[in-house]
Amino acid sequence: MADKVKVFALAGLDEDGRDCYVVEINNDIFVLDAGTSLPDKTIPGVDALLPNFDYLIANKDRIAAYIITHGHDESFAALRFFYKYAKAPVYCSQTTMTIIEGTLAIAGDSVTNFDFRIIKPSDKVTIKGREVKFFQTCHNAANSSGVAISTSLGNVVYTGDFIINFATEETNYRFDLKMASQIAEEKTLLLLCESKGADLPGYCSPKHRVNDQLDRYFKAGKRIFAICYWQNMYRVRELVRLAKKYNKKLYCYDNYTEIVMKQIIAASGTANISASDFVSKEDFLRVKKSDLLILMVGNSDDIFLETQSLSKGTNSDKRIQLEPNDIFINVALPRVSFETLCTRTMDMVYRTGCEVVWLKKKDVSAMHAREDDIRFILNLFKPQYYFPVRGYYTKIMENAQLAVSLGIGLSHMNVFVLDNGMQLIFEEGKRPVILPNEVTGVDISPILVDGRGLMTFSEEVIGVRQKMGVDGTVVVALTVSKSKNKIVAGPDCQMRGFVYAKEAEPLLKSITQIYVEEISAALTAHSSLEKAKEIASERMRRFIKRENGREPLVELLIIEIE
């Protein structure tokens, strides 16, 4: 019996991160990656965004596997949330498992109940009686893989993130052409290929390397500070190799860096680091300055905020200060949402007088497939159908147009540019069918993660948070005695984010007076206190608008006692 194949994205299309793609073959569901993304400034108070996994929960008994291609938040960080409600075996490399476990341990979350099925970066396994083949790819997360799932119609191939790089000495970052070619000998029904670098000409390699650009600074015989995103394990590895080449010891700038470097990077075995390569906190002042590489790693804007603290001398360890004879290296290529913060941070670093080496996107390429990398993968697999994924719409369109231009049988009839939730269905002897969200009913609204837990994306909630971020907030509380039917304490007023301190006193007096008037009137008339709060809130809003043109969020509280 011929297979029925359904493919769609829960997230990852027209965005940076949150990658999560679903391949349904008959009754079995394969989930390819389960990532998160970082919020931008339009979503205040949110730690991360997850794909909406209501569909997976509703079909949890049909999930055959989670397949995690590599150890980046955008590919695995939603897994712990998914797994609590929809358990299934997790297929990934040993390195990726180490990263997942280490990351969640740092966050204080247990991962002991995960059913990990460890695969080699290039491997073959059978899942639910179906052959699944992996081929190692070169990406800045060590031991990453693409995957091919067999069907009677041909393979569904997902590249994950990759660049074409055959450097055999880099065994943890090698594109396995032999395994990929073996898979390509079989029919490829559908190829899902990343798009994040699709608008850039040429191959990514060797522009992804920084060794040659940094070698002379390590050779200079000075103390070096370096900041880097730790999930860019390839870049961390380059820094470590240079340090070893010039006999420098590694010093972890803070506790976070130490945990990551020792419990994740070193434990993964991908950077060839041993305990003897590190300098302990106790021995920091005993080591000659010129023999030190002080490494600071992060995973978000934290790395720039900590660098600002270092530059201003407000960091917690006062033994570590930037000095004019130091070299400061920034190889943390920021996301678009962090570019302003990065620039402001580097301005502070320059003011310390140290020598600054700031590698930017024009100096080093992010390890994502560019035009020629994508051309290579398309000509290798020669798919019957093509589905560009992973990236903003402009990048996906560049990818699609590139595919059509190659002359390998791809056109607007078999290259699909889709939105999250749109389902692509293949059946033998039929043309592919595309079902829109209105028909599938798959909820693709993001799940927001904040300090309180999970919540579905809500325009109302986001609107409230945006208002608080722009116009500030006012909280007024008072205590009412039920038996005495009067106000016995307060009001206490707290104002944040919308008025200068010197203007606060007269405004505070007027605001509290409005609240007291309305609540006192309600108590005298034995009318509804809730109604009185609504009237007071509206009066306050109009008053503040008239006084300083702002419209803060007003929260009124009443504490009732006997």
Please give the single-letter amino acid code of residue 69.
Answer: T
pLDDT for the residue 465: 53
The torsion region of residue 343 among left (phi > 0), alpha (psi -120 to 50) and beta comes to alpha
pLDDT of residue 451: 58
What distance in Å separates the CA atoms of residue 352 and residue 346, rounded to the nearest whole number? 10
Going 483 to 486 to 492 to 497, the CA torsion angle's sign is: positive
- Can you give the pLDDT at residue 464? 47
pLDDT at 490: 75
**In contact, 142 and 136? CB cutoff 8 Å:** no
Q: What secondary structure does DSSP assign to 110-148, as a single string? A: --TT--EEE--SSEEEEETTEEEEEEEEB-SSTTEEEEE
Would you call 38 helix, strand, or coil by DSSP? coil
Give the model confidence (pLDDT) of 429-476 as tens digits. 999 999 998 888 899 988 888 755 555 544 445 444 555 555 577 788
Please give the pLDDT value at position 216. 96
Q: What type of residue sits at position 441?
A: G
Model pLDDT, residue 107: 78
Contact 102, 260 (CB under 8 A): yes
**Whether pLDDT at 150 is above 80:** yes
Single out the residue of 118, 229, 123, 233 nearest to residue 172, CA to CA: 233
Distance CA 141, CA 98 (A): 12
Cβ-based neighbours of 433, under 8 Å, separated by 6 or more: 424, 425, 427
- Check residue 98 and give its pLDDT: 93
Distance between CA atoms of residues 254 and 238, nearest Å: 20
Q: What mean pLDDT comes out for the span 42-58?
A: 84
Q: What are phi and psi of 354, to 5 degrees?
A: -75, 165
For position 433, what pLDDT does the model report? Answer: 96
pLDDT in tens, 479-506: 888 777 788 787 888 766 655 545 567 7
Bond from prior residue into 206 cis (ω within 30 degrees of 0): yes
pTM (predicted TM-score): 0.83
pLDDT, tens digit (0-9, with 9 covering 90-100), for 316-330 = 999 999 999 999 999
What are the C-alpha distances in Å from 265 to residues 235, 275, 369? Answer: 12, 12, 24
- Tens digits of residue pLDDT in 386-403: 999 999 999 999 999 999
Q: Identify the structural domains of the chain with CATH numbers, from first to last.
A: 5-203+366-456 (3.60.15.10), 211-358 (3.40.50.10710), 459-561 (3.10.20.580)
Pairing of strands 28-32, 63-67: parallel
The pairing of beta strand 155-158 with beta strand 144-149: antiparallel
Answer whether 545's CB lies under 8 Å from 551's CB.
yes
- CA–CA distance, 482 with 300 (Å, rounded to integer): 50
Determine which helix (DSSP H) or strand (DSSP E) holds 378, and give its type and residue range. helix 371-381
Let me know how long the chain is.
Answer: 562
Who has greater pLDDT, 48 or 379? 379
Per-residue pLDDT of 19-45, as tens digits, reads: 999 999 999 999 999 999 988 766 666
Q: What's the chain's average pLDDT? A: 89
Distance CA(99)–CA(105), nearest Å, equals: 10
Higher pLDDT, 161 or 480: 161
Residue that has been written with the tokens 């995690």 in this structure? 68
Amino acid identity at 240 = V
Which is it for the CA torsion 340, 344, 350, 356, positive or negative? negative
Strand order across the beta sheet in which 249-252 lies? 249-252, 292-298, 224-229, 327-330, 355-358
